[in-house]
Structure 1
Amino acid sequence: MANKLHIALFLIAGLVLTASLAYAQQITAQDFFREGEKLQMDYQFERAKEAYTRAISLSGDSAFIARAEQRRVLCENGLILSNYVVSPHILGRAVIPYREFFLYYDLSPSGAWALPPFELLRHLNDNGADRLPLFYRATLDRIVFTAKDSTSGSGYDLYMIQKKDILANGASLWGPPVRLGPGINTPGNEIYPVLSSDGKTLYFSSDGLPGLGGMNLYVSRWNTQTQEWGLAENLGIPFSSTHNDMLYMLSDDSRYFYFSSDRVAPKDSLVLYKVEYESAPVKIRPSSVRELKEIASLPLRGDNTASVSNLQPTDTGPAIPDSVLQKTREYTAHYAELTRTVRNLKNRVKEHENVLDSLRKRYGSLSIEEERALLANTIREEEFVLIELQQSLRDARKSTQAIEDMFLSHGVLPPIAPAASESPVATAADQEHMSWYPVKQALASLEAHVFETPVPPVPPVNLEFRIEKESVMVPWENEPPGLYYRIQLFTVSRKAPVSQLKGISPVFEVRVGKQYVYYAGQFLRYADASRALTTTKRQGITGAIVVAYFQGKPIPVQEGRRREAQNKTAPEGIASYRVYLGSNEIPASLVSLVNELSDKDIIRVVTGTGADFFIGPFASVSQAEDLARTLREKGFDMVSVQEVTN
């Protein structure tokens, strides 16, 4: 009895110990996860990745592991983006309330914020309970906005509408909303889209695309060939951070841009940044986490709150060889001087361009020939000076780039912030920007505008013979103008149930008197029809036969094979036309437009390398050309008219 008691106690102790170890192990996994979060927010992506890896190895909770895996991916994104960092010139920053923060952006002269009308949101199964504003430019024929389809199971997505007409009352008529593609929308949230002044660049925020965590900033560019937005790109560090960054907006004159972030903001607030815009900024690889954090803190010029001396070293990366450091020190002074030279030359070039513009305007207003001649000489002299300045600027930039390439080749870069003794003195313009405080704008209204209801696009008719789980019925129309074959399945006195068709697709149903005749497939060669017939019989429809048609009328199969052998598959002297739309895949916007312009179906023809898409046939070349011309005017340059002849 005592032995049994000892055994029982031993088993209980073992179970308790196992449970305790499992509990302790789970706590340890949570500890590593929390440590990873801290390191990730501190831009120590390599160490954070290791912490998440340890957390995963110590946990058996699948949900926890998935969450840690996601964080580890964010760290990998951070490591990649850390190699391409921009050091921007911050013109100003201001703390603004989070609520309606978008109204503090300077929208002049071409845009305004408005809430999307309920009428528009209803088209997308959005009840408008949590409407997010849209940015409207009256000069553009498109609007990109945010909506949340309650039936989609995802977060906020981006949609686009395009202007179709101006109504008699002056209001704009907008086409139906189209959801942007998977290169932009994700199961997460895509919000605060803003179009550039020319409508060809889209900026927005997302927490579903590859980023650093939270909301990051992204850009997409309009593809004139496909008439769709391109794959979104992360704007990178420091504009995207490990916190939440939203609403990038470029000024109309491309001199500066705004964006908001909560990285250093008080509770219920955001910091609105005003940044000098550079079309091709130099991207660097910071030499340490300390330098990366300093850049990401977005200090103002002359601001010592985030200087190098105030940051504690946290980088544990590999040591840089002394020889490389010595070479870096030798070039740093020269690099700093070149950087100042480039900035000064840029300012001088801009000044001379302004002077020339003024002189040319004055020249156009003069009527006395002598005065015009004197001014023309002055303009020529200024043009020569400008040419020399531009060449000097190119040379200075080339020298700067050479030093940057040298640094990059060794993984070392000159310090971004100058030493305390060399801190630049803020100019009057800088002081003005530093004291800048934005003014709250007013909401506009789009209630008078008219928005069309979206029409579900009709998918292309797939005439490829195949076996599906359930047979696909298609209408008997758009027959080839010449010779083709089909498989006659059977004739019945009542409509056949789908199950009787054995999954054969596509199937055509034709009523002849009181009978229903069922056909399958559409083949231009007898050999293809014969192979499909064998498959049909294997499916259990043993009475199926091949039938032939020529110019829309039934003919004996033997005649069809003879015409095929003699290459006389179309009537002599008779031609038809079709419009080629593309290969393999065609954009949904093209499908919608074709359905709007023509009542003919899109035909998918399988080729050796994929599939081609056509619409037709057309009896005359003018009909086909009219459609093709309209499609090309809408930006689909790949369309062409093809003649189908004997």
Structure 2
Amino acid sequence: MAIKLLIKISLIAGLFFPATLTYAQQASASSLFLEGEQLRVAYEFERAKEAYTRAISLSGDSAFIARAQQRRVLCENGLILSNYVVRPHVLGRTVIPYREFFLFYDLSPSGSWALPPFELLSHVNDKGDTRLPFFYRATQDRIVFSAKDSASGSGWDLYMIQKKDILANGAFLWGPPVRLGPGINTPGNEIYPVLSSDGKTLYFSSNGLPGLGGMNLYVSRWDTKTQEWGLAENLGIPFSSTHNDLLYMLSDDSRYFYFTSDRAAPKDSLVLYKVEYESAPVKIRPASVKELREIAMMPLSGNKTRDREYGPKEAGMAVPDSILEKTREATAHYTQLTAAVRNLKVQVAGHEKKLDSLRKYYSSLTPEEDRRAIANTIREEEFVLMELQQSLRDTRKSAQSIEDLFLSHGVLPPVTTPASKSPASSASGLQEMDLFPVKQQLISLDSHLFEAPLPVVPPVNLEFRIEQESVIVPWENEPPGLYYRIQLFTVARKATISQLKGISPIFEVRAGNHYVYYAGQFYNYADAARALASVKRRGITGAIVVAYFQGKSIPVLEGRRREAQNKTAPEGVAAFHVYLGSNQIPPALISLVGELSDKDIIRVITGSGTDYFIGPFASASQAEELASVLREKGFDTVTVQQVTN
């Protein structure tokens, strides 16, 4: 009502005070924009879209209009995603601090959290001022990490490196980082990438891909044929919301997944959700916005009260005493198992450190006898480490089965504190439980080596042209077939730039005690002749056209003969031409060929007449691409022909 009144007042004011009209309209537009924001966050996408549309109609500010249009797109995304909503089985949730929240993900012993080493970040022009983590598994052959290229000025992008070799110290050599394609990276931010245990699925957060606003969750799958990541897909409601959703991570056994969100979190905190994984979940269309909003709040599955709002105070709710009484024995066993897990982790870390020291000592030894003795010790320690790691996996698996008991009641499993710091017992005689998951430790990959990407060499422009200053290019990567160049002159000393008259490109060749200068690279004599006339007009009257075939100089007449016989490809190498017709071809076809290709039409005189071709093309697919377009335009006689010299 207040907004409508404000609009009326602004219109009346505009009749008597035209100078104030623009300001009043913009104020109304801003109010409508804020109304749209409130509605969008509350999943009222249709009403929010209307508010943004009205705001756009009242505003004359182009920046404001662009922002409102972008919000309207978010509403359209929301309307689409609202038709495919999953009602997940939420097993538990708890509030965790925003700072280093990722360390509270404790899913499996198969990996650890790490920060990209500064050496790696330097290869993508990231200064390393802020480093975002990734989950590292030593068994995987690839790592996907997030970095910010300071040179490009874009947001956070995802990069991938591939394992190449193992080093003497047990670390790895990784190939150069490659930025993932436009199906994943955007001008926005792509952060917190996590690979599945098999390395074939990538989960990450983005605010640049189609979503609901803020950071949404996305998935991309590895294409084994193209060896690239596929187009990213939004995980949809309720995992993606109108707030910020981060770091989706699937357990190694594909039974559960975790993710965090600020949709119901206190300040400087996030809510960590643990959800049962379904490979093919049932998707529904909620009957109302109220039902959609309820699903998006991710209520615990054990709670039957549908209309209840779930705020952050309920996250990490305690296990009811009645349930704890029934599971007294399981709780005691779980306490023993968690203590055993801690102990085994310490032992594993100790043996890994010991092995690292032994390997360094082994590398420093020279007598073969000493090295052999240390090698045997290393081998024995490796067997011990393998047994400890297996024990750790088995113990955690046993603890997992007991966790399922607690999770079946809709809460996160209790995590006991170490015996040395045991809290006081409750009135019922049961030990009080710490509701936060165990915080993990970051590992360092600074001992690993990371190859830098090869420098990008810009392609040499071989197109003949006249510029203010000539450009000299190296004589290399010669075409394998027929080509022409213009020989300018031969001098005893290197020519100055001014002597080259702005002609480009220039090839400088040392021939004994002299320097020979050439210009351009042409694939038919007609182009070379036209360029020669231009060179002579620049004052270099002694210039001539020279011909080459398969890297060797040939007479120009032989080159022209090869053109006439359509034998411009290397000897024994197949080339492809597009056959246009014989004797007479329509002017419309000639004009169309000129628009579609930079290659000239070749005329070949035969005993029965004249054939017309365009080419050569290095592959049949290139020739067929042009031929198919010509056929679509009505020139049905066009065909692709293979030519072997």
Q: How does 1:480-629 map to 2 (within 5 A)?
A: 480-488=479-487, 494-495=494-495, 497=497, 507-512=506-511, 513-523=513-523, 525-526=524-525, 529=528, 545-566=544-565, 569=568, 575=572, 607-608=622-623
1:475 is matched with: 474
Asked if structure 2 preserves the Cα contact closer than 8 Å seen for 1:481 and 1:576, the reply is no
**C-alpha deviation, 1:176, in angstroms:** 2.1
Judge which range, 547-556 or 431-440, deviates more: 431-440
- Name the CA shift for 1:253/1:453 in 2 (closer, same or farther; >3 Å): same
Pair 1:567–1:182, CA change in 2 (3 A):
closer
SS in 1 for 2:159: strand
- Distance change (3 Å), C-alpha of 1:60 and 1:153: same
Secondary structure of the structure 2 residue equivalent to 1:26:
helix
Task: Flag the 1:64–1:563 CA change in 2: closer, same or farther, 3 A.
Answer: closer
Q: Residue 129 of structure 1: CA displacement? A: 2.3
Query: In 1, are the aligned partners of 2:146 and 2:159 still within 8 Å (CA)?
Result: yes
Report SS of the residue matched to 2:95.
Answer: strand
Matched, 1:89 2:66: no
Aligned twin of 2:80? 80
Query: What SS does structure 2 have at the residue aligned with 1:220?
Result: strand
Answer with 145-154 or 196-205: which moved more: 145-154
Could you tell me whether the CA contact under 8 Å between 2:112 and 2:442 is conserved in 1? yes
Whether 1:20 aligns to 2:14 is: no
Whole-Å separation in 2 of the counterparts to 1:226 and 1:535? 47
Equivalent residues in 2 for 1:123-202 (5 A)? 123-202=123-202
Q: Residues 587-635 of structure 1, C-alpha deviation per residue, up to 9 Å, x if partnerless?
A: xxxxxxxxxxxxxxxxx96955679xxxxxxxxxxxxxxxxxxxxxxxx
Shift of 1:135: 1.3
Which segment is superposed worse, 287-296 or 533-542? Answer: 533-542
Question: Structure 2 residue aligned with 1:434, among 406, 411, 420?
Answer: 411
Unaligned runs of 5+ in 2: 1-12, 311-403, 414-434, 576-616, 627-641
User: Aligned-pair RMSD on alpha carbons?
Assistant: 3.7
Post-superposition Cα deviations, 1:557-580, rounded to whole Å, max 9, x if no partner, equal: 112222344455578xx65799xx
Q: Against the structure 1 CA distance between its residues 145 and 14, is the aligned structure 2 distance closer, same or farther, given a 3 Å change threshold?
A: closer
CA separation in 2, counterparts of 1:148 and 1:26? 36
**Amino acid paired to 1:484:** Y
Q: Aligned pair in 2 of structure 1 residues 498, 298: CA closer, same or farther (>3 Å)?
A: farther
Q: Where does 1:217-236 land on structure 2 (aligned, <5 Å)?
A: 217-236=217-236
Deviations 1:301-346 (A, max 9, x none): 23245x15879xxxxxxxxxxxxxxxxxxxxxxxxxxxxxxxxxxx
- Inter-CA distance 220–17: structure 2 relative to 1 (3 Å threshold): same
Q: Give the distance between the partners of 2:465 and 2:471, measured in 1 at CA.
A: 10
Q: How does 1:204-215 map to 2 (within 5 A)?
A: 204-215=204-215
Residue pair 1:165, 1:174 contacting (<8 A) in 2 also: yes
Q: In structure 1, what is the Cα distance between the partners aligned to 2:625 and 2:129?
A: 46
Distance 1:263 1:501 in 2: 68
Aligned to 1:238: 238
The answer to whether the 8 Å contact 2:485/2:519 transfers is yes
Contact 2:470–2:497 (CA under 8 A) maintained in structure 1: no
SS in 2 for 1:131: coil
| Superposed displacement of residue 60, structure 1 | 1.8
Cα 1:184–1:482 change in 2 (3 A) is: closer
SS of the aligned residue for 2:17 comes to: helix
1:456 counterpart letter in structure 2: P
Note the 1:330-349 alignment, pairs <5 A: none
Q: Is the 8 A contact 1:491 1:518 kept in 2?
A: no
Query: Who is 1:111 aligned against?
Result: 111
Alignment coverage as a number of residue pairs:
460
The 1:645/1:236 distance shift into structure 2, 3 A limit, reads same
- TM-score, normalised via structure 1 length: 0.63
* Equivalent residue letter for 1:212: L
Residue 196 of structure 1: how far off its partner (Å): 1.1
2: distance between equivalents of 1:123 and 1:541? 47
- More deviation, 101-110/554-563: 554-563
Aligned to 1:418: none
Distance in 2 (CA, whole Å) between partners of 1:69 and 1:539 is 56
Task: Report the alpha carbon displacement of residue 113 of structure 1 after superposing the two structures with TM.
Answer: 0.2
CA contact (8 A) 1:94 1:271 kept: yes
Give SS of 1:434's match: coil
Amino acid at match of 2:109: P
Assess, with a 3 A threshold, how the Cα gap between structure 1 residues 263 and 169 changes in structure 2: closer, same or farther.
Answer: same
Residue deviations 1:331-375 (CA, integer Å, cap 9, x gap) = xxxxxxxxxxxxxxxxxxxxxxxxxxxxxxxxxxxxxxxxxxxxx
Change (3 A) 1:66 1:569: closer
The structural deviation recorded for 1:25 is 1.8
In the other structure, the counterpart of 2:446 is: 447
Partner secondary structure for residue 222 of structure 2: strand
2:269, 2:19 → 1: CA distance? 45
Equivalence for 1:588: none
Q: Match of 2:441, as an amino acid?
A: A
Q: Which AA in structure 1 matches 2:287? A: S
Q: Is the 8 A contact 1:193 1:204 kept in 2?
A: yes
CA contact 1:495–1:516 (8 Å) conserved in 2 = no
Q: Give matches, 1:287-302, under 5 Å.
A: 287-302=287-302
TM-score, normalised relative to structure 2 = 0.63
Question: Are the equivalent residues in 1 in contact too, given 2:301–2:410 (CA < 8 A)?
Answer: no
Q: What letter is aligned with 1:54?
A: R
Per the alignment, residue 314 of structure 2 pairs with none
- Between the aligned residues of both structures, percent identity stands at 74
Q: CA deviation at 1:488?
A: 4.1
Instruction: Compute the displacement of 1:250 (Å).
Output: 1.0
Deviations 1:106-132 (A, max 9, x none): 231311101222222233333322221
Q: Distance in 1 between matches of 2:643 and 2:122?
A: 45
Q: CA 1:131–1:558 in structure 2 vs 1: closer, same or farther (change >3 Å)? A: same
Q: Which runs of 5+ in 1 are unaligned?
A: 1-12, 312-426, 579-603, 612-642
Distance of aligned partners of 1:566 and 1:154 in 2 relative to their CA distance in 1, 3 Å threshold: closer
**2:562 and 2:76 mapped to 1: Cα distance?**
63
Amino acid at match of 2:239: F
Letter in 2 for 1:187: P
Decide whether the 8 Å contact of 2:204 with 2:218 is kept in 1: yes
Q: Which amino acid aligns with 1:278?
A: E
Distance 1:539 1:43 in 2: 71
Partner of 1:120 in structure 2?
Answer: 120
Per-residue CA distance 1:234-285 (angstroms, 9 max, x = gap): 1111111100000011111111211111111121111111112122223333
Within 1, Cα distance between the matches of 2:226 and 2:163? 19
Contact 1:95–1:269 (CA<8 Å) still a contact in 2?
yes
